[in-house]
């Protein structure tokens, strides 16, 4: 079925394009959601105007996403999770949880699919999360995962202190002591 796209449909077509799509896809999804109309002679005459409107919408969306990316770049998100004494979480931090926290910060709805976490986050710590806001716009936020009931600022300070101590080689400035010569290694059994 030939349709004229009224709006951009990710991975399918841009607004104003005329494309051949499967009939069921057009009847059940595109036309009811007003993303496309059948390619009738009347609709074909409106193609140029539709293309211009879609281009304006794309530009507006890109500018909006650039502004959002600039606002979020480098910001910090605090996520409180239940954790054991060792810092291991009872569950994991998901992209949906980070998106909800970002929505609270910005006052705008943030889709979970734009948040890219560095694998499975299952322990207390500071992690970097990428945000893919648009094909041309990305941002990075810092995610602090801390136990429920703890002060996020204290947890962040403790984690940063531990990281700087680890970088300094344990804080003594000396290499770790080697085992005394002549001692036998422990037997494994």
Instruction: Evaluate if residue 178 carries a pLDDT over 80.
Output: no
Residue ranges of the chain assigned to CATH 3.40.5.10: 2-59
Model confidence band, residue 177 (pLDDT cutoffs 50, 70, 90):
very low
Mean pLDDT, residues 157-173? 72
Question: Is 45 within 8 Å of 37 (Cβ atoms)?
Answer: no
pLDDT at residue 169, rounded to an integer: 63
pLDDT at residue 176, rounded to an integer: 46
Mean pLDDT, residues 163-183? 56
Instruction: Evaluate if residue 134 carries a pLDDT over 60.
Output: yes
Lowest mean pLDDT, pick from 52-61, 84-93, 103-112: 52-61
CA-based torsion, 66, 130, 110, 52: positive or negative:
positive
**Is 73-167 a CATH 3.10.430.100 domain?**
yes
Residue ranges of the chain assigned to CATH 3.10.430.100: 73-167
Mean pLDDT, residues 9-33? 89
Phi, psi at residue 137, to the nearest 5°? -130, 120
Residue 138: in which H helix or E strand, if any? strand 137-147
Count Cβ atoms within 10 A of the Cβ of residue 5 and give its class: 0-12 exposed, 13-18 middle, 19 or more buried: buried
Domain range 2-59, CATH architecture: 3-Layer(aba) Sandwich (3.40)
pLDDT at residue 141, rounded to an integer: 92
pLDDT at residue 170, rounded to an integer: 54
The fraction of the chain above a pLDDT of 70, given in percent, is 89
């Amino acid at each position: 079925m030939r349709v004229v796209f009224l709006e951009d449909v990710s991975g399918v077509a841009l607004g104003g394009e005329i494309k051949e799509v499967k009939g069921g896809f057009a009847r059940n999804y595109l036309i009811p959601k007003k993303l496309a109309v059948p390619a009738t002679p009347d609709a074909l005459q409106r193609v140029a105007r539709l293309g211009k409107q879609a281009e304006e919408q794309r530009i507006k969306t890109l500018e909006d996403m650039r502004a959002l990316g600039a606002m979020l770049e480098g910001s910090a998100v605090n996520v409180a999770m239940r954790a054991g004494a060792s810092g291991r979480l009872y569950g994991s931090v998901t992209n949906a949880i980070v998106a909800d926290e970002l929505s609270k910060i910005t006052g705008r709805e943030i889709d979970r699919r734009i948040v890219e976490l560095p694998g499975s986050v299952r322990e207390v710590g500071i992690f970097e999360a990428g945000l893919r806001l648009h094909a041309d716009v990305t941002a990075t936020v810092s995610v602090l995962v801390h136990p429920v009931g703890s002060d996020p600022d204290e947890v962040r300070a403790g984690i940063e202190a531990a990281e700087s101590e680890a970088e300094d080689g344990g804080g003594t400035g000396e290499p770790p002591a080697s085992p005394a010569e002549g001692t036998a290694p422990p037997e494994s059994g």
